[in-house]
Structures are given as structure tokens and as C-alpha cells.
Structure 1
Amino acid sequence: RRERGRKSQGVVVVFAWMSSEERHLKHYIDLYASCGWSSLVCHSQFLNSFFPEKAELLALEILNELLEELRINPVPVVFASFSGGPKACMYKVLQIIRGTYENQRENMDNYRIVRDCVAGHIYDSSPVDFTSDLGTRFVLHPSILRISNPPRFAQWIAKGIASSLDGLFLSRFETQRAEYWQTLYASVIFGAPYLIMCSEDDDLAPCQTICNFAERLRELGADVRLVKWTSSPHVGHYRQHPVDYKGSVIELLQKASTIYLQRTNQRGG
């Protein structure tokens, strides 16, 4: 579920979309590597979005591996989230390193180095307002399944799972949803810039939801660059608009390096 790159100028922690494989992420990993950054990839499962405990376990796994690398070679860290990646794992990472997750407060000192290294955020086709209905559409969407027409039995299974989740967790779902969005907004405390990319015709990550997210971050004082395309498929922006996408990512990584250097100099002073 994860892989780690070589020592470098920085580390991009990639929170990939559901059902993604290494081959789907190769172009992104290569892009970061061309800027001198290595990657730590987090592959999540569908149920992580509904079971916070599963998301927490995956978050701890990712954080422990990241911590191991940063202790040897402290460098800036950028969190890059795709599609449902924030709900499946990333928001738990944010809670743990901020010390707001009760189960992990005693380990706050262990993750302080990670918190000090966070220097940027990238959202690609993300964040999404996750519900069980949206979860069904995620499972059946061509960009997730990598097939144009999901078989009927797959549709039945996905809808059945969503219906069961509604019955089991309906009372908890709104609470989890509010906690999720509050955590994403609270990430402004890291003082790191945001690059948010979306498309007006993305039916899984509605443009208005993402634009509202970007605007709220700005209101909270964050440095936000919003890149919005008229037509681009879900998690397909790099493929559809390679020049704009690459330029935006390079700019964000450069900002992250500068911010990290400034912090290091301030602490050294």
C-alpha cells in the first residue's frame, strides 16, 4: 500500500484515490522526481472512508514511515491528495500530527518533526463531500474502475454496501462529516500554501464544493492557488492539461522549499 522514494529535496506524501495502482501514479511520481522530490504513496481501501479506525491505522503506518525518513534527512513535506484520499486517510494524519486526535495525544512529541516539516498541500479532484451515495458513485465511476461500463453485478454490490452502511452508520455519518471538514480547514495552522485543482464538469468532485473550500481557506488566511479547468476528467487533469498542471505543481513545490528554509533559519536563529 505504500512505497518510499530515495533521499531528496523533499517528500510528497501521495494520498491516492480508491482502487489506484502504482502504474496509475507513475506520471505524478515522475513529475515530483523531476523536481528533486521523492514520494511516499498511500493506497487506501473503500471502507476506510466509512470506518475512521481503519483510516487511523493507515495514517499511523504512513506517519511512522515518514518519521523514519525525516529523522535521517529532515526535508519539506507536501501532502498531495487525490479524489477521496483525504477522507480515507489524510485527515487522520492531520489530526494526529496536530495533537487533536485523543488516541494519539501521548505520541504528539514523536510526530512533532513531521508537523514542523509540512510545507505544502496539493488537492487534485479533491476534497469531496463524502456520503454513502457518493461512495457508490466512486466505486462505479470509470476513472476509479478504469472501465467504461461497470457490470451490473458490480452496481448491485456497490449499492448494497452503501445501503448497509447507511443503516449501520447514519447516526454517526454527519458527525464524521463535520469532523472531516473541520480538520481540513484547521490545516491552515501549518502555514503552508495550497494548490487546488478541479474541473467544472467533474461529477465526482463538484467544482462548487472545491471552490467553496478554497475560498474558506483564504478567509482563514491561507495562501491558496485555485486552478479550475472547464473540461477535465476526474483525476485526469495532468493527462488533459500537462503543461498547466506541471507548472502549477512545480510552483507549489518551490514555495514549499522556500517556506521550509525560512522556518529552519528562524529556528536556527
Structure 2
Amino acid sequence: MFLLKTTAVLLKRNVLELPHLQGTNIINIEHLRCISTLPITKNLVLMSKEKKKAPIKSLKLSPDQNRPLVVMPTWLMAKEKHIKKYANFYLDYGFDVLNISVTPWQLLWPVKGTQVVAKDILKFLQINKSYSPLVVHGFSVGAYLWAEVLVRLAAERSLYQPIIDRISGQIFDSAADITELVIGVPIAVFPSNKVMQNALRSYLLYHMKKFDKVATSHYVRASQMYHTNLIRVPALIFCSEKDPIGAVRSNQRARENWESNGTKVYWKCWDDSAHVGHFQKHPKEYLDTLRNYLDKLDLLANRDKIQIKI
């Protein structure tokens, strides 16, 4: 009981919140490339090869961007150095990347957490209409966050139809469904502490039973929207037989549901890679699959020139 209370206090106090950048920074990275990062909100950070400007208290960028954008909701507790490996791929092809993170607390209390972030995502996309086309590349619980976006899109379809029309691709890596929440979150938060993993797992089971109206019911609704998926552009799914968090069975169910509504689904499943570890384990195959998918959708510029060093 003490461990359960301690875990709940840590989450409530946001001790586990991810750090976010302040101001616009230029970060030097390999190959003499650089990334300009612009925090939009505490959860949204824009990554680009060019410096960006945003007026205070406004999500509007100046000038208009007129380039493709990747909407990238990442996995829980994702480190910046790992996110940059994916961002670099897109930046080299002329995309900007909207990196989106959520904290454990925001995940546990969706009404005041993930749903607020989902609203900010749509507000940013709505205000910055010149970002087109859009590609969604979600990881792990980032797929759930995107599902909260889908809930809002469905609820106000007429308002957000222009955003839907700009989406040309959707990629999901190790997507974690609601059924895997109690498995994945403890490992992400306490990767090396089995005692705290078990404590958090027990708390999550309690949390989902106790707070159905303000938490669990929202997870279920988002999961339903993810599997229904009103975005009908071709999709790419990465998963692994070894991954208990982004389980093959739930990803396969999503694939079948999407295909039944007419969505073309490309599927890449490995036998041996860990959760959100497909790129690390199979870098060349991962990038080739991603590149071929985007190429089929005619979303890559300078496709013959770019050679990513792994």
C-alpha cells in the first residue's frame, strides 16, 4: 500500500514529467547537420532545419511554411537523442517535425491531460494551414494520443475536415492499445526497477477500475476511434512478435479493421525487436520500408540524393 501511495504521489506531482526546451535552440548533430527546435507548448516542439518564429501566446508561425509536416506523437519518457534519429530522416527530405510528448500524469488523467494536448495539436494544424501535406508517425502510447485527436476530429468533423484532407500518410510503430497500458507504462517509467514497476502496475489496475468515468471510459472511446480510424489514407504498421506492449494481436486487429473500411495497410513485423526498438535492431530495413512507403505516396523530395548514415 505504501508503494501504491508513493507511486500515485510521484505521478500527481509531475516528478516524472519530461523536460522540455525553453526558447529556440540550434543543436549540432552528426554529419554537421543541425536542428532548430521551437517549443510551441509544454508538449509540442517543432523541429526543423530552419529557424522558426512564433508570436507570444500564439501558435501561428511566421512566415507561412509551405512544406510537409510530420506529426510525431512519441512514446512515454522518450529521450531527445532517440527522437532526433527519426526526425533527421524526415528533415533530410524537406519535412518539418512536430514532436509531441505526454507525461505519465497526463496519460492517467486524459480529460485534463492527453485531451488537452490533442486539442493543442489540432489548433496548431488549423492555424498553420500552409503545412501540407501532413504525415502522422506515432509510437507506442503516441498512437493513443493520436486516437484522442481522432475523437475530436469525429466530434467536429465539419470544422476539422480541412485538416483531414491534408493528411496523406499514417505510420504507427509499436502502437499500444488500452489492453497493454498496464504492461507498458510501468516499464517506461521505471525501466530498471522491478519493485516500482509492480507497484505502478498495481496502481494502474486500481486507477482504471476506480476512475472509469474520468479515465478508463476515455481510453475505451479512443481505442474504438483508433480501430475505426476515419483517416482512410494508406497506413504503415511496424510491430514485433517479441513486443508485449505493442502486441501483434492488437495491431493485427487494427489492420483488419482498417482494411475492412477500405484503407490500404502496409505491414512490417519482426520476430526479435523490442518495443519501439525496431529501428535500433533493424535500421536499414526500417528506413527502407519507411522510404518505400512514403515513396509510394509520392511524399519524398530528393529521394535519390538522400543516404542516411546508420
TM-score when normalising by structure 2: 0.69
Q: Which has the higher helix share?
A: 1
Distance 1:74 1:167, change over 3 A: closer
Residues 186-265 of structure 1: pairs in structure 2 closer than 5 A? 186-187=228-229, 189-257=230-298
How far apart, in 1, do the equivalents of 2:224 and 2:182 lie?
24
Give the counterpart letter for 2:177 in structure 1: D
Map of 2:128 onto structure 1: 69
Q: 1:85 aligns with which of 113, 117, 142?
A: 142
Distance apart, 1:146 and its partner CA: 7.9
Segments of 5+ residues of structure 1 without an aligned counterpart are: 259-269
Distance 1:64 1:177, change over 3 A: closer
Distance 1:167 1:209, change over 3 A: closer
How far apart, in 1, do the equivalents of 2:70 and 2:105 lie?
24
Alignment of 1:150 onto 2:193: yes
Is the Cα contact below 8 Å between 1:199 and 1:230 reproduced in 2?
yes
Map of 2:169 onto structure 1: 120
Query: Deviations 1:209-251 (Å, cap 9, x if unpaired)?
Result: 2122212211221110010111101001111111111122223
How far apart, in 2, do the equivalents of 1:186 and 1:167 lie?
25
Distance 1:8 1:24, change over 3 A: farther
Give the counterpart letter for 1:158 in structure 2: L
Is the Cα contact below 8 Å between 1:76 and 1:257 reproduced in 2?
no
Distance apart, 1:45 and its partner CA: 1.8
How far apart, in 2, do the equivalents of 1:8 and 1:253 lie?
19
Q: How many residues align?
A: 240
Map of 1:262 onto structure 2: none
Distance 1:229 1:160, change over 3 A: closer
CA RMSD of aligned residues (A): 2.5
Identity of aligned residues (%): 23
SS of residue in 2 equivalent to 1:3: strand
Distance apart, 1:186 and its partner CA: 3.0
How far apart, in 1, do the equivalents of 2:219 and 2:185 lie?
19
Map of 1:267 onto structure 2: none
Is the Cα contact below 8 Å between 1:76 and 1:256 reproduced in 2?
no
How far apart, in 2, do the equivalents of 1:140 and 1:182 lie?
24
Alignment of 1:96 onto 2:152: yes
Q: 2:211 aligns with which of 169, 173, 180?
A: 169
Residues 52-63 of structure 1: pairs in structure 2 closer than 5 A? 52-53=110-111, 54-63=113-122
Is the Cα contact below 8 Å between 1:82 and 1:123 reproduced in 2?
yes
Distance 1:145 1:95, change over 3 A: closer
How far apart, in 2, do the equivalents of 1:190 and 1:83 lie?
19
Give the counterpart letter for 1:207 in structure 2: V
Alignment of 1:41 onto 2:87: no
SS of residue in 2 equivalent to 1:48: helix
Distance 1:255 1:117, change over 3 A: farther
Query: Deviations 1:179-218 (Å, cap 9, x if unpaired)?
Result: 223211332x433110001001112111122122212211
SS of residue in 1 equivalent to 2:102: coil
How far apart, in 2, do the equivalents of 1:125 and 1:161 lie?
24
Give the counterpart letter for 1:96 in structure 2: R
TM-score when normalising by structure 1: 0.79
Is the Cα contact below 8 Å between 2:151 and 2:222 reproduced in 1?
no
How far apart, in 2, do the equivalents of 1:11 and 1:235 lie?
22
Distance 1:50 1:256, change over 3 A: farther
